[in-house]
Structure 1
């Protein structure tokens, strides 16, 4: 007898199989019990008929508690009434691990309670669906970049300097010297791009921002590509193709998860249509001022309400181009005809989800980068290796970073980024 997973039920119609599962819920009448089963791949229903299995098996079924683990034996059948399409007619039940007084019941629970029980909350159908979409976005990311001959490079998590400035770093002792948890792998990826042409990384990054918004995590995962011989204009094409590819992959491969979350597929379909609209920072300020945002003046960074209004004006992801030099990092290339802006872009997601990508063309002039490092008050010696990239065969190069959890939150249509991380780290939470 073959042991299968629920997701493969369609391959075994009419066969007697075994499935290891947990009891998510159950209901029973005098002669029949319905078990809602999950095994990590999907959910489906198991049916226990008293007259078919006998008193002993039926009593086991009736007495099962939520999250008890079981080994089920039975026949796979089609079930046209369910979205999943299949069920199992149970013939035998072996209890593996009992579960009593499971703390998360079908009733409503407060957010803090659920976060305190995140290790158990992950088992729920909604959290399962979100993690399935996260997994698909990761899978699709590797496929997208591998198909385009990018080489995956793993930058260090412990660094001796800061790519984005020193205000939100986690500092640690490194054998008597100061070290920091990485904010970004970008500087190292620039070095790798000079060796391999096109590279990308995917790994954890850390920002010690004391922010409690629904968009911020202390620890999050970043997809960071870097491309040699690539202008910003060419990079923008890669960015929009990548995001559209992610959305399409979720539409193609996460049908059940989207149903669980109630995500409108027609809305997601719009996000696969290219090219995405673009607006300059200058015009974005004008757009905001003309629509009641009098608090925004040229030179300000945009806040959540501003980004939401801009993106909703287009109903698609939108690029905001060429921000003021004063509010962007030292490594961005200066604009060829203006002193006050740099060649960069943020991609803002619609529906109020904010920035999901930040990118730029990188400055290649040695003296300009050195001057900017000094302007930022950074230690020149710590960046000497980075300056070397401008001395030995520099080329035009561009790159960007996509925050995984923000992308998951947006594509899933959920409200808070904390649900997009298996075990989120927030300003007030490092448990569990």
Structure 2
């Protein structure tokens, strides 16, 4: 017996194989039953012809409820009408678990709130399955890019004693009688590791307690955060555009079928190659004013502003040199103009907004202390971070990429909640 997976079914054309999976759907035309089979790697149609199987097999297939699990044995044959290109001519069926009747998610239209309540089942459907397979590919591509570039993976703590971003948007927890917080970012800890290993990255969950309901926000999301010693602002941008291009090429090569299932315009993704265009924050302000937006220097960009700027380009665009007052205390001011920072946001095309934020970091001890004091941040809590500037400080840079926004952009989907297996939003902590 040959055990196969749907993803690699093309290898077995003309052979009899066994698939282990679930019944996604079925239909019948009397003497033929069409089974839609999924096995976690993909979807395939199984054809059950009454005269070619035993009566018991035919009756079993006829009566099986949706999402029953089974082993299906049959001949792999080419079928040009299928998106997969193959189908399975069923010979035997061995039921593992006969599902109950009344599966909650039918093939009719359901509201998003209903589907999110059944997220544990919704992810079984072809569209959600494709999104999460692409997420997996992006995840792996990011890790491989940094591994190939000589970065070391480090894991910062999720429980931290203070804010990393200097905001009040924190989830506070009781840590054995002391106040602690769920981490907003692993960046400060990655900076410490960069002073030990030169080039590092962290990849893990981060938490923001902002009460946002937009389609671009989650309260728990994943970030990849590289930090690089002896790398300046320009070098930082170069790594970002090379990383994004690398990941997109990988997804196009390995998950094109899933992109097509989602209806994604892959020609737009094929244009994403370095270098990416750049404009300064000041230039972006002028662009918005010329387009009729009411916007002043020092204002923060909202979704309409980012979308208008992105629409002027076919590739992601860097917006650089933001006002110092808008950004976190650790960002290096531009020596030629201390009112702006040596940092940038990377704005994705097609209205997906910021996917990366990064900067050169302050490496001068006195300047860092000045920034901490200006924002009334407690020096004792940041003492370990301050010590990085006392012992072998060097110019260094880093950035953070939000995984879910990146998945949404590459997949071309409307809402970020579909890009993570179980979304945590302002009004959702179930399932």
Q: TM > 0.5 between the two? A: yes
Aligned-partner Cα distance in 2 for 1:9–1:314: 40
Tell me which residue corresponds to 2:5.
5
SS of aligned partner of 1:414 = coil
How far 1:198 sits from its partner (Å)?
0.3
After the TM superposition, which residues 317-332 of structure 1 pair with which residues of structure 2 at under 5 Å, given as runs?
317-332=316-331
Tell me which residue corresponds to 2:185.
184
Tell me which residue corresponds to 1:39.
39
SS of aligned partner of 1:202 = strand
Aligned-partner Cα distance in 1 for 2:422–2:187: 25
Tell me which residue corresponds to 1:140.
141
Alignment pair present for 1:424 and 2:415: no
> Which 10-residue stretch deviates more, 348-357 or 66-75?
66-75
How far 1:83 sits from its partner (Å)?
1.9
Aligned-partner Cα distance in 2 for 1:370–1:178: 24
Q: Aligned Cα RMSD in Å?
A: 0.9
Aligned-partner Cα distance in 1 for 2:166–2:97: 51
Tell me which residue corresponds to 2:248.
247
How far 1:55 sits from its partner (Å)?
2.0
Aligned-partner Cα distance in 1 for 2:9–2:196: 47
After the TM superposition, which residues 25-424 of structure 1 pair with which residues of structure 2 at under 5 Å, given as runs?
25-99=25-99, 100-271=101-272, 273-294=273-294, 296-424=295-423
Q: Structure 1: which 4+ aligned runs deviate by more than 4 Å?
A: none
How far 1:14 sits from its partner (Å)?
2.0
Aligned-partner Cα distance in 1 for 2:309–2:168: 28
Does the aligned pair in 1 maintain the 2:282–2:297 contact within 8 Å? yes
How far 1:249 sits from its partner (Å)?
0.9
How far 1:63 sits from its partner (Å)?
1.5
How far 1:46 sits from its partner (Å)?
0.5
How many pairs were matched up?
430
How far 1:339 sits from its partner (Å)?
2.4
> Which 10-residue stretch deviates more, 166-175 or 420-429?
166-175
SS of aligned partner of 2:225 = strand
Aligned-partner Cα distance in 1 for 2:304–2:177: 44
Gaps of 5+ in 1: none
Aligned-partner Cα distance in 1 for 2:375–2:98: 59
Aligned-partner Cα distance in 1 for 2:284–2:36: 50
**TM-superposition CA deviations, 1:336-380 (whole Å, max 9, x none):** 111211110000001110000000000111011011111111110
How far 1:61 sits from its partner (Å)?
1.3
> Which 10-residue stretch deviates more, 169-178 or 181-190?
169-178
Gaps of 5+ in 2: none
